[in-house]
């Protein structure tokens, strides 16, 4: 049977089974009807009730806490019911079997509950994306960034910018249409262009923080680089506090990129151990060196390792990333001023200082302010900025007003307040089933 947006949908909205509690959510015009088939008449006074759920022939399936939410006061804006069941795979499967037999009900698609919330005006797109990030957050900073989005802070900023553009257009159009009227100012320039110039700078500053949003969501990439036997794998193991990489005295032991993800003071930090940088005739090792150089090009920070007093030249890899020159094997050598930091993975000396250096860089990356965290946000902000620049540099007043209208439209596409139908399937398909 073909699926319809008018269908009542259901899905497991809680975690992986088995669990202490499993929450099955229903949303749509038949949600209350389906709940009554399972558990008898539903109360409309928004109270949780304990009910026995029965299947075919009156067979008891489970005892559940049931919450009913009448539209529009629900997550989706539709009639919603939540069945708080015992978290057994067999119980949930039995409930699914019952719900699938009720005409007009079907299993929800990925992100369909949140998409309905968007379509019913309960969330905008930025809030919906923030909700997805909040569900998937693994570190404290990811949680903070997602909260700013999912609870409307970032949307409010974009709406405020769009309102400033709308006010400016209103004044321009008033001058164009009613220039002969006494109560319309003869020139709007002093009233709006200074503010529009300030707005342009605000958007540009906001755009410049896009890298911070990417780092918080996807992790801060630190590549451990250097010649063979400089202690790269030993450092990775020391940071991870477990044996991630094989460590030997044989040069070229590490031939592929190894990585470990760590939570450092709430930041996701991704450490990459690379093959020793050197010229080699070994085909496999040469490929490892090529991959190491590629990783260096994509790094946010490079830890350039070299054994203290080593004869090998200390050559920094070509990269725009932050660079820390680290002298290794401090337990066997004297500290040298040639390096930013000297460490010993054997004794642990210097490792706390390295951690603090990394944290200092991370805190410079993001201080907790609102930042665009997705590529599409950045693209539409760039569009808006370009249109505002056109307006500021234009001559014809009507064309300048049109540029401001286009800028406001670009901002509206971020939150979904103008036509963005082609984006919806892509955005909501990234959600889990049941959200």
Choose one of 315, 337, 365: the last residue of a domain. Answer: 365
The verdict on residue 117 lying in a domain is no
Choose one of 350, 365, 380: the last residue of a domain. Answer: 365
Say if residue 221 is in the same domain as residue 349. Answer: yes
So what's the pLDDT on residue 252?
A: 43
Say if residue 344 is in the same domain as residue 299. Answer: yes
CATH code of residue 390: 1.20.120.430
Cα separations (Å) of 315 from 3, 21, 306, 312, 323?
61, 57, 10, 9, 12
186 pLDDT above the threshold of 80:
no
The count of domains in the chain is 3
Q: With pLDDT > 90 as the criterion, what percentage of the chain qualifies?
A: 55
pTM of this structure:
0.77
Say if residue 150 is in the same domain as residue 134. Answer: yes
Residue 275 pLDDT class (50, 70, 90 cuts): low
The verdict on residue 25 lying in a domain is yes
CA–CA–CA angle 277, 220, 226 (5° rounding): 15
Please give the average per-residue pLDDT across 155-177, as a whole number: 85
So what's the pLDDT on residue 166?
A: 86
pLDDT in tens, 46-103: 789 999 999 888 899 999 999 999 999 999 999 999 999 999 999 999 999 999 999 9
* Tokens matching residue 49: 């009730």
Say if residue 202 is in the same domain as residue 260. Answer: no
pLDDT in tens, 142-162: 999 999 888 888 999 999 999
The verdict on residue 118 lying in a domain is no
The verdict on residue 123 lying in a domain is no
Say if residue 277 is in the same domain as residue 142. Answer: no
Residue 2 pLDDT class (50, 70, 90 cuts): low
The more confident residue out of 402 and 226 is 402
Q: How confident is the prediction for the chain on average, in pLDDT? A: 85
CB 226 within 8 A of CB 278: no
Residue 200 pLDDT class (50, 70, 90 cuts): very high
CATH code of residue 62: 3.30.1360.120
So what's the pLDDT on residue 342?
A: 95
Say if residue 59 is in the same domain as residue 188. Answer: no
CATH code of residue 346: 3.40.50.300
Say if residue 397 is in the same domain as residue 358. Answer: no
Choose one of 311, 331, 365: the last residue of a domain. Answer: 365
Cα separations (Å) of 51 from 9, 46, 48, 64?
21, 15, 10, 6
pLDDT in tens, 107-131: 999 999 999 999 999 999 999 999 9
Please give the average per-residue pLDDT across 327-356, as a whole number: 93
The residues, ordered by sequence, that sit 6+ positions from 44 with a Cβ below 8 Å of its Cβ are: 68, 70
* Range of the structural domain that residue 333 is part of: 216-365
């Amino acid at each position: 049977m073909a699926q319809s947006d008018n269908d009542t949908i259901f899905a497991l909205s809680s975690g992986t089974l088995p669990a202490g509690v499993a929450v099955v959510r229903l949303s749509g015009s038949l949600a209350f009807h389906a709940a009554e088939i399972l558990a008898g008449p539903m109360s409309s006074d928004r109270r949780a009730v304990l009910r026995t759920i029965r299947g075919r022939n009156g067979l008891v399936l489970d005892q559940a806490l049931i919450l009913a939410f009448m539209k529009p006061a629900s997550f989706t804006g539709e009639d919603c019911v939540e069945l708080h069941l015992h978290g057994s795979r067999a119980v949930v499967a039995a409930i699914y079997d019952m719900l699938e037999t009720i005409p007009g009900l079907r299993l929800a698609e990925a992100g369909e509950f949140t998409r309905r919330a968007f379509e019913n005006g309960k969330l905008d797109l930025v809030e919906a994306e923030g909700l997805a990030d909040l569900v998937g957050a693994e570190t404290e900073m990811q949680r903070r960034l997602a909260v700013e989005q999912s609870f409307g802070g970032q949307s409010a900023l974009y709406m405020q910018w769009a309102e400033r553009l709308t006010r400016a257009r209103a004044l321009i159009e008033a001058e164009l249409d009613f220039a002969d009227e006494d109560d319309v100012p003869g020139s709007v320039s002093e009233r709006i262009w200074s503010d529009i110039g300030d707005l342009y700078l605000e958007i540009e500053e906001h755009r410049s923080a896009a890298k911070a949003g990417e780092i918080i969501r996807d992790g801060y990439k630190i590549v451990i680089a250097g010649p063979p036997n400089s202690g790269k794998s030993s450092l990775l193991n020391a940071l991870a506090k477990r044996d991630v990489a094989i460590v030997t005295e044989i040069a070229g032991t590490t031939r592929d990129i190894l990585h470990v993800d760590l939570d450092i003071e709430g930041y996701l930090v991704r450490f990459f151990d690379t093959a020793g940088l050197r010229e080699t005739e070994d085909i496999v090792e040469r490929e490892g060196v090529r991959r190491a150089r590629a990783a260096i090009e994509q790094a946010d920070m490079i830890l350039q390792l070299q054994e203290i007093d080593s004869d090998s030249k200390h050559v920094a890899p070509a990269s725009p990333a932050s660079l820390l020159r680290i002298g290794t094997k401090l337990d066997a050598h004297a500290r040298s001023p040639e390096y930013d930091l000297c460490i010993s993975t054997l004794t642990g000396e210097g490792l706390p200082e390295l951690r603090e250096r990394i944290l200092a860089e991370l805190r410079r990356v993001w201080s907790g302010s609102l930042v665009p965290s997705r590529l599409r946000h950045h693209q539409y902000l760039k569009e808006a900025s370009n249109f505002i620049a056109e307006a500021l540099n234009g001559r014809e007043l009507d064309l300048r007003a049109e540029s401001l209208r286009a800028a406001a439209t670009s901002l509206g596409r971020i939150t979904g307040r103008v036509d963005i139908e082609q984006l919806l399937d892509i955005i909501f398909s990234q959600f889990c089933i049941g959200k």
